[in-house]
Chains A and B, each alone.
Chain A
């Protein structure tokens, strides 16, 4: 049996070859697809497991702090802390810490904006020492570059170096200096110009141990030491000279010297065209002092000096044991003067307004509401004018009465450079606003013109600006009690213990703990493990459209699910396309052997014998192709470095065999039941098909196709199936791509697996094209007699070739139409979403079969055109 099948196979030449080739291509393609899919699967699995864990697993925020946008889209705002001025109580914090499984619960309490007066004389000899009597104006300009623009604020101060004797009492001089006018005594040897500015700094409290456990803060220490039990916070109350109460808070402070923006300070010194005598001075005082001097144009530039202000330079002289004298910040912008005050201020970013949310395309556009203009303090100029996006929320320090003053003495224990903290970049980072401002990149300007390349927008020193500057001063939670003994904590970052890698149980455990936190405290809880940054477009009036990385929760699981689903679809598509191809090849080959089978039947072969013969042939082809396909797949996988698990790869053998056998069953049954009388029928030319004098070749082709509808429907089926599978494959791939894009993790994965997807599409495309070519060639072979007749009737070779090309195109288009519709239907059934990518898939589904139809017909057309007219009249 088998030897005969083998011989007949060998001897049937081109048809066997085509079939073998088809099955070979299929099994090879299958191996490759398997390999690609496996690689994708393994890559995705590994990457997702690797990128599942985030710096913290759970984020806890005060009640009501989650916006509707966050809730609706499963997001966590990028700058989620900057809008929160406390709200979590110490009791709640303790309750959370006592939950079993909570390994780290690191609280962060945004305490207050504080003013730090920095006075430095600059480098040796850089700044002038003025000895000549006169009226001088000193303009100090702080400039901050937000990446796009230079923001400047200039303070005007005046110095009077009298010719005459000192005109004021010391008390009067102090009072005057509060109004920007300084009088230098005659006993002084002139005056030295210095850099003097006041910086707003955000003070935040942390739990030293927990923070260290969470991010390893102590490892970023540059000098000094980390918080220890010796550095306790305390409060002293006393009286000022005039009798006002003043409270001095002594708090341990860790300064962060990391530079988040480019800052600089510039000092310009001008001489005013005024005679420096006391009479002029008196009249100036009468005219309004500094306010009058603001109107006087300087006559001469004495000097202009500038310095960069890096974090290191600001805190240059700050080391262990030093103290920082800090005042509560009430103004909206760095001021030049020290004003004692009692209010603590925090800036709150109002909620975003949703401009556009189209979640199918993974895009969310928001608008931030401007709150007015930033007001410059007296004697200062802002350029350019700035929009206020935040509201300063002020509250009294605990125990401080109306009219009492507060000063905060920061006892510096050491300094850290957050730039040295490990592991906060990558596709799954979660916001650590304590150390990093949110990443904001300008993508489109106000007129919606793209900004290329996109510009990263840095925070400025403006507490009312859009991006909040990270706190440069860190203190302990214990110190926070002095500011707010009840609920100063803005957020708690929680890490669950005993988990080292992703597993569904680990995920469930974290979610259970999150649930427990909600149950015990009623706080807002977000599970951020398995999240990834998601691009959100924010319209900032006055700036344009910026992209922010919000946190998309649960992305990891969603991606895992999606990739698995897509893999199932792709695998199914592969199986179906391979199976169809083989079915089609065996069917066509069986049809081609109708007469041979009829002869066997006439000679007395049983149907079952015919069936077995055909099946054993299929088995031989399947096995051979499986072996070659497997070797091919292994070879290619080795060259490309793709994963090919041997256990799966060996599946190709039974699969090739199985597909061949399954594919052959129907055709074999069909062939086996061929009535023997077929042998005596004249096949090929059906009577009406040869009306050559038709006006149009196209109509002839269509009519011809219709008359041969049995055979043609088979070809059409292949074309449709191929087109459908191509469409489905394309759309499924696109669907997955669409799903992946948007979040950083998804895009990162996409980058990793993109190549394989292209590879897979190529392979499926080639299999589809091969199937079509195969059918076209076999079809042509079956029609040699008809072609012979056409030529005998006087058709030119070109006309015959055109006939076949046209037929190929028509079959391709018809098949493509049917297949694309089918593929789309299946896709929409599976995914229920429509994207722009679909259009491409449809175009490919329609265009490719047509093109392949023509290309596949090219060879048969050549064969056909070369048929001798004698074939028509030849017997067997």
Chain B
């Protein structure tokens, strides 16, 4: 499902930092993989490159058979919207939108071509993540765990093949964190979605099918 070949990323603002250094890996469809490693080991960078948020300095990323490096502009945005769901450590919900609207957000501009009813779908997803009674709450009215569930529901809105979660539990207490991991695991199992989680939480890593360890931008 996800293949990276010799993926290298060098940040050049200020002193050059080699964040990723020739990472090659392959993740199969339906896998639940944890990426671990200390701070600055390149976890987030790897996720950003796979998620097409950023471009590698060199190397290739293939997601679902598509070399994302060949995508530009609209094609890239469409690919991102249709194939990838993001879950961030900081949740990144729009504070002025309700839970339901936040979930709908990725597709609001594109609802015309949808084969399903966006609002119903969003509601289903929120129910699926256990927030059926929180549809019209603003992010500020939700707990951290609940906010992250909204974010996960948002990631699922377009039935992506891949969910990329960058420290999804980093801002949560251990119990809420465990619930989020369980939710991701459940979604992985029930919907067959490939999940890639960057974390330094051992509990998360243990829940994964496989763990990839990074150190100084390399796979260990």
Contacts and interface: CB of A to CB of B under 8 A. Distances in A.
A875 interface: yes
A677 B109 CA distance: 21
Given A11-B97, A599-B92, A607 B74 contact: yes
B94 A680 contact: no
A604 B78 contact: yes
Nearest to B75: A606
Contact of B105 (A1, A600, A606, A876): A600
A605 B106 contact: yes
Interface string B143-187: 000000000001000100000001000010000000000000000
Contact of B86 (A602, A605, A608): A602
B119 interface: no
B90 A604 contact: no
Contact of A603 (B96, B97, B105, B139): B105
A596 interface: yes
Given A4-B108, A679-B88, A599 B81 contact: no
A603 B109 contact: no
Contact of A608 (B52, B74, B105, B139): B74
B29 interface: no
B90 A876 contact: yes
Given A600-B105, A603-B106, A607-B74, A679 B81 contact: no
Interface in A570-605: 596, 599-605
Interface string A306-338: 000000000000000000000000000000000
A606 B53 contact: no
Given A596-B94, A876-B90, A607 B109 contact: no
A4 B96 CA distance: 12
A77 interface: no
B77 A605 contact: yes
B113 to A, nearest CB: 13
Interface in B100-116: 101, 105-106, 108-110
Contacts of A607: 73-74, 77
B54 A675 contact: yes
Given A599-B94, A609-B109, A876-B95, A677 B53 contact: yes
A665 B108 CA distance: 22
Contacts of A503: none
Contacts of B84: 604
A13 interface: yes
A680 B106 contact: no
Chain A, interface size: which category?
20 to 34
A4 B94 CA distance: 13
Nearest to B158: A604
B93 interface: yes
Contact of B82 (A599, A604, A875): A604
A605 B81 contact: yes
Given A8-B96, A609-B110, A680-B53, A603 B81 contact: yes
A293 B209 CA distance: 147
A680 B91 contact: no
A620 to B, nearest CB: 16
Contacts of A606: 73-74, 77-78, 109
Contact of B80 (A12, A602, A675, A875): A602
B109 A4 contact: yes
B196 to A, nearest CB: 15
B44 A1 contact: no
A676 interface: yes
Task: Name the residue in B52, B91, B97, B108 with the highest tally of chain A Cβ atoms < 10 Å from its Cβ.
Answer: B108
Nearest to B73: A607
B81 A604 contact: yes
Contact of B171 (A600, A613, A676, A875): A875
B188 interface: no
A676 B53 CA distance: 5
Contacts of B73: 606-607
A346 to B, nearest CB: 92
B158 A876 contact: no
A12 B95 CA distance: 9
Contacts of B44: 680
Contacts of B91: 875-876
Contact of A679 (B74, B92, B96, B171): B92
A4 B108 CA distance: 8
Contacts of A677: 48, 53-54
A603 B154 contact: yes
Task: Name the residue in B54, B74, B77 with the highest tally of chain A Cβ atoms < 10 Å from its Cβ.
Answer: B77
Task: Name the residue in B44, B51, B53, B78 with the highest tally of chain A Cβ atoms < 10 Å from its Cβ.
Answer: B53
A876 B106 CA distance: 19
Task: Name the residue in A7, A604, A608 with the highest tally of chain B Cβ atoms < 10 Å from its Cβ.
Answer: A604
Contacts of A675: 53-54
A78 to B, nearest CB: 74
Contacts of A4: 108-109
A374 to B, nearest CB: 93
A784 to B, nearest CB: 14
Nearest to A13: B96
A875 B90 contact: yes
Contacts of B158: 604
A602 B86 CA distance: 8
Task: Name the residue in B90, B93, B96, B139 with the highest tally of chain A Cβ atoms < 10 Å from its Cβ.
Answer: B96
A8 B109 CA distance: 13
Given A604-B78, A604-B82, A876 B92 contact: yes
A4 B97 CA distance: 10
Contacts of A7: 97, 101
Nearest to B84: A604
B96 A602 contact: no
A358 B90 CA distance: 72
B74 to A, nearest CB: 5
Contacts of B77: 601, 604-607, 609
Task: Name the residue in B91, B93, B95 with the highest tally of chain A Cβ atoms < 10 Å from its Cβ.
Answer: B95
Contacts of B52: 676
A876 B86 CA distance: 16
Contacts of B108: 4
Nearest to A679: B92
Contacts of B109: 1, 4, 605-606, 609, 612-613
Task: Name the residue in A1, A8, A680 with the highest tally of chain B Cβ atoms < 10 Å from its Cβ.
Answer: A680
Interface in A630-685: 675-677, 679-680
Interface string B64-85: 0000000001100111111010
Contacts of A604: 77-82, 84, 106, 158
Given A4-B108, A679-B88, A12 B96 contact: yes
Contact of A680 (B48, B78, B95, B139): B48
B50 to A, nearest CB: 13
A677 B53 CA distance: 5
Nearest to A687: B14
A875 B154 CA distance: 19
A605 B104 CA distance: 12
Nearest to B14: A687
Interface in A823-873: none
B3 to A, nearest CB: 21
Interface string A272-314: 0000000000000000000000000000000000000000000
20 contacts: A7-B97, A7-B101, A11-B97, A12-B96, A13-B96, A596-B94, A602-B51, A602-B53, A603-B105, A604-B80, A604-B82, A604-B106, A604-B158, A606-B73, A609-B109, A677-B53, A679-B53, A679-B88, A680-B44, A680-B88
Interface of A: 1, 4, 7-8, 11-13, 596, 599-609, 612-613, 675-677, 679-680, 875-876
Given A603-B86, A606-B73, A606-B74, 20 more contacts: A1-B109, A4-B109, A7-B101, A13-B96, A599-B94, A600-B106, A601-B77, A604-B77, A604-B80, A604-B106, A605-B81, A609-B110, A612-B109, A675-B53, A676-B52, A676-B80, A679-B88, A679-B92, A680-B48, A875-B171
Nearest 7 pairs of A and B residues by beta carbon: A604-B81, A11-B96, A603-B106, A604-B80, A606-B77, A609-B109, A677-B54
